[in-house]
Amino acid sequence: MATRPENIREQLTALRQEYIRRLPERLGEIEAEWADLLREDWDAEKLRIMHRHAHSLVGSGATFGFPPVSDSARLVEQTLKELSEKPRPTDHTIENKLESLLMELRKAVIQASRELPPLLLDEDTYNDKPPSPTGKARMVYLVEDDENQAEDMALQLQHFGYEVRIFTTLKTLREALKATAPDAIIMDILMPDGDGLSALAEISRDIAPNVPTLVVSILRDFELRLRAVRAGTKAYLQKPVDIGELVDKLDHLTGVKQADPYRVLIIDDSSVMTEYYALILRHAGMLTRTCHDATQVMGALEDFNVDLILTDVYMSGCDGFELAAVLRQQDAYMSVPIVFLSTETDLDKQLMALGTGADEFLTKPITPHQLVSAVTSRAQRARLLRELMLHDSLTGLLNHTTVKERLVKELAQALRRRVPVSLAMIDIDHFKSINDRFGHLAGDRVIKSLAHLLQQRLRQSDVIGRYGGEEFMTLLYDTTGQQAKVLMDKLRDDFAELRHQASEKLFRATFSCGIAAVSGKIKASDLTDLADRALYQAKHKGRNQVVLVNS
């Protein structure tokens, strides 16, 4: 017997995970076929195809160790067989039975998916690495033999702050890699001068082991995806490439501080459906919350910072249209996109939905891919708009008003969860004299570099805002005063090390910091005053230092 058992176990585990990952899609296929059968003409050929798909889940479910998937798929298979043996029955008994069997299958798939480790979620930790030179673009090597496609992708990536170098052969890529390593490699694996995946395997083994690699391909077969995983690639994207998805992956892999995952609230009477949609969206890296009763939606929205609401149309208690109207009457939810999901194909009804404030109408059944891309594009646009409203244009940090609002919310949440928080006020020392001596442009650069440093070093869960001209506020969640002091002192040291440029001259700047630590109930304004007073003390004691007070 040839190979070590650990090795094959690893490979089997990889296969199994890939299988689980694709399960929702396969289920979606079956459900779409069923909906199609019910809607269109009853067609023996369609029944046969659906039967085959169900059958394939029977076998594969059992092989990969998911007996509930296999068993429920077998019942679906048997019922389909029954249906295919005679003309479409006039009563709906068997059809209803099949519906409920599909529901069981869906549950089994959801259950199976729980075994999957979470995908691509950032570990929320402080980043102790020194910042890269401020403002430097990240370099991506794009390996693609179709020059038009390559140019197009390069152009789009540049909008997201990536510098792109295009290679049309593997040979030129290898040479370039020996000279400089990029931050990431994107490769179309069908290359004229050799097998892309073997090249990637070799690159990640011998030439540039620390450079993350991403594969784009028109091919979708499993074998290739598996080979890609074995070659050490971090992502496999289907062509045509969804640029948003690609950028998200790149941002993640190249260590860019990523925006929070999208937060989606899903409302549907049926808990199986909400779970199913939640599962699909979570696998795409989003955060979800579900609600089975539209009248409870206000509670579900609380402290969730929702980016998008996905709701069914027909629900008991309150239908989707009414729900949209209710939400639109509240300032806080006026701009949150609302997407309707329904089996409704009546165009008039759809138009009516759009009239009441829905942003999009998706028709069920929907494939996981369609759902993810519809939600992503809506959420992306809504975020962008909000970004413009809520953020400071120079630094991209939260603006004064927003950071104050967030402070109130975060304090309430911290109190509920009984975690300590620390509020730090940071002020650049002698900023006026920096402006006077080196000019406002240089001053702006100092502000930006401090903003950049804070963003890189603090966690995603921390709130960072530009409070005033050269004043910053950060709220450190689940952090004691002592921890905050150590962290801020380190940041202060590192900031003082940075060299800023003003025409011919290089200079350094420092900051002072006041921290107020809190572990009980306190008003946001009182906490801000405390931190302000600590900051004043730090300034008074000679600047370039951190002072901690406890509330």
Residues lying near other proteins in the complex (CB under 8 A): 1-3, 5, 7-9, 11-12, 15, 19, 48, 52, 55-56, 58-60, 62-65, 70, 221-223, 226
State the burial class of residue 505 (Cβ atoms within 10 Å of its Cβ: 0-12, 13-18, 19+).
exposed
In this complex, which beta carbon is closest to other proteins, that of residue 56 or of residue 156?
A: 56
Number of neighbouring beta carbons within 10 Å of residue 488: 23
In this complex, which beta carbon is closest to other proteins, that of residue 44 or of residue 137?
A: 44
In this complex, which beta carbon is closest to other proteins, that of residue 14 or of residue 326?
A: 14
Residue 287 · residue 264 · CB < 8 Å: yes
In this complex, which beta carbon is closest to other proteins, that of residue 55 or of residue 364?
A: 55
Longest CA pairwise span in the chain (Å): 91
State the burial class of residue 384 (Cβ atoms within 10 Å of its Cβ: 0-12, 13-18, 19+).
exposed
In this complex, which beta carbon is closest to other proteins, that of residue 51 or of residue 466?
A: 51
In this complex, which beta carbon is closest to other proteins, that of residue 231 or of residue 425?
A: 231
Number of neighbouring beta carbons within 10 Å of residue 179: 6
In angstroms, the CA 287 to CA 264 distance is 6
CB of 81 to other proteins, least distance (A): 11
Q: Enumerate residues 6+ apart whose C-beta is below 8 A from 250.
A: 138, 140, 157, 160, 162, 184, 186, 214, 256
CB of 18 to other proteins, least distance (A): 9
CB of 221 to other proteins, least distance (A): 8
Torsion of CA 92, 96, 99, 103, to 10 degrees: 180
Residue 185 · residue 213 · CB < 8 Å: yes
In angstroms, the CA 515 to CA 485 distance is 7
Number of neighbouring beta carbons within 10 Å of residue 110: 18
Sign of CA dihedral 528, 531, 533, 539: negative
Helices of type H across 160-296: 170-179, 196-202, 222-230, 243-253, 271-283
In this complex, which beta carbon is closest to other proteins, that of residue 60 or of residue 295?
A: 60
CB of 47 to other proteins, least distance (A): 13
Sign of CA dihedral 404, 405, 408, 413: negative
CB of 1 to other proteins, least distance (A): 6
CB of 69 to other proteins, least distance (A): 11
The CA-atom distances, in angstroms, between 273 and each of 102, 426, 488 are: 12, 47, 46
Reduced to 3 states (helix: H, G, I; strand: E, B; else coil), residue 307 is: coil
CB of 264 to other proteins, least distance (A): 30
Q: Enumerate residues 6+ apart whose C-beta is below 8 A from 251.
A: 160, 258
State both tokens at 27.
């289920």
In this complex, which beta carbon is closest to other proteins, that of residue 34 or of residue 64?
A: 64
In this complex, which beta carbon is closest to other proteins, that of residue 64 or of residue 141?
A: 64
In this complex, which beta carbon is closest to other proteins, that of residue 109 or of residue 191?
A: 109
CB of 67 to other proteins, least distance (A): 9
CB of 95 to other proteins, least distance (A): 23
CB of 114 to other proteins, least distance (A): 19
